[in-house]
């Protein structure tokens, strides 16, 4: 069964999560600073232990490494969380959606080649410009492309297609990966929801928030064993519509 999860601004669960994220932003700042101090001192302690080569020091070094890894995991989670909570108003300028997706696909071409994944582009040469913020939009596209590549086995294909609809400039990203079940489609844009080991669960919510900050919307269709299709739609500036 193909399940379509569209962007819904009246979702009460999503509104509650976003309110929680905003309220927790200041707490994340407070956690980040002492965690950085802990990480720094763990590194210093590790250096000291290397100078004392005894069975006890080696056991201690193993335990210190576990603490370091957990610190790095928490720092990564905080970075992702702060990106999510800090994304407010962004300055938009006229630009090309084709150029944005081409830049991102070039960045991942080597990874695709290494994994025998074929990337196909079908970009409308007459695509109207949209209002965009290049850095944030590319971050959202990178998240989607990265997820697509990671979902595919060697021999997979990723298609990127741009086109216009009656009211929007659109981008489809279609992969032949493993797909996801209906429950995952239903919850994938919720903060902290993740099916990946060690995942923060903030990549797709942040991508969604970026698209919304552009006045756009994102939807997804997926089927287990067949693949996933993300559709991004951006408004055409009034002077160009």
**174 near 2, Cβ under 8 Å?**
no
SS3 156: coil
**140 near 230, Cβ under 8 Å?**
no
SS3 219: strand
Q: Residue ranges per domain, the chain?
A: 12-86, 93-235
pLDDT for the residue 88: 59
CA 197 remoteness from chain centre: 15
**CATH number of the domain at 93-235, please?**
3.30.565.10
Average pLDDT for residues 3-29, to the nearest whole number?
59
Q: Which of 18-22, 65-69, 83-87, 206-210 has the highest mean pLDDT?
A: 206-210
Radius of gyration of the chain (CA): 21
φ and ψ of 240, to 5 deg: -105, -15
Q: Give the pLDDT confidence of 187-226 residue by residue, as tens digits.
A: 888 877 676 765 667 788 888 988 998 999 999 999 998 9
What value does the mean pLDDT of the chain take?
83
48 vs 184: CA distance, rounded Å: 46
Share of the chain above pLDDT 70, in %: 80
**202 near 79, Cβ under 8 Å?**
no
């Amino acid at each position: 069964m193909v399940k379509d999860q569209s962007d819904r601004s009246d979702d009460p669960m999503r509104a509650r999560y976003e309110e929680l994220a905003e309220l927790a932003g200041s707490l994340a700042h407070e956690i980040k600073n002492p965690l950085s101090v802990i990480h720094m001192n763990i590194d210093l302690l590790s250096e000291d232990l290397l100078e004392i080569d005894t069975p006890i020091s080696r056991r201690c070094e193993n335990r210190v490494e576990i603490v370091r890894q957990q610190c790095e995991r928490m720092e990564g989670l905080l970075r992702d969380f702060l990106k999510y909570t800090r994304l407010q108003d962004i300055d938009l300028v006229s630009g090309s959606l084709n150029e944005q997706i081409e830049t991102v696909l070039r960045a991942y071409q080597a990874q695709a080649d290494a994994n025998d994944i074929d990337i196909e582009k079908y970009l409308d040469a007459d695509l109207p410009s949209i209002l965009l913020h290049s850095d944030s939009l590319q971050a959202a596209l990178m998240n989607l492309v990265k997820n697509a590549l990671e979902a595919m086995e060697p021999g997979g294909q990723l298609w990127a297609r741009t086109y216009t609809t009656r009211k929007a400039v659109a981008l489809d990203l279609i992969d032949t990966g493993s797909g996801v079940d209906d429950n995952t489609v239903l919850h994938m844009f919720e903060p902290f929801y993740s099916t990946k080991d060690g995942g923060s669960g903030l990549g797709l919510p942040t991508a969604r928030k970026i698209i919304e900050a552009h006045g756009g919307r994102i939807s997804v269709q997926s089927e287990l064993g067949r693949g996933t299709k993300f559709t991004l739609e951006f408004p055409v500036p009034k002077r160009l519509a």
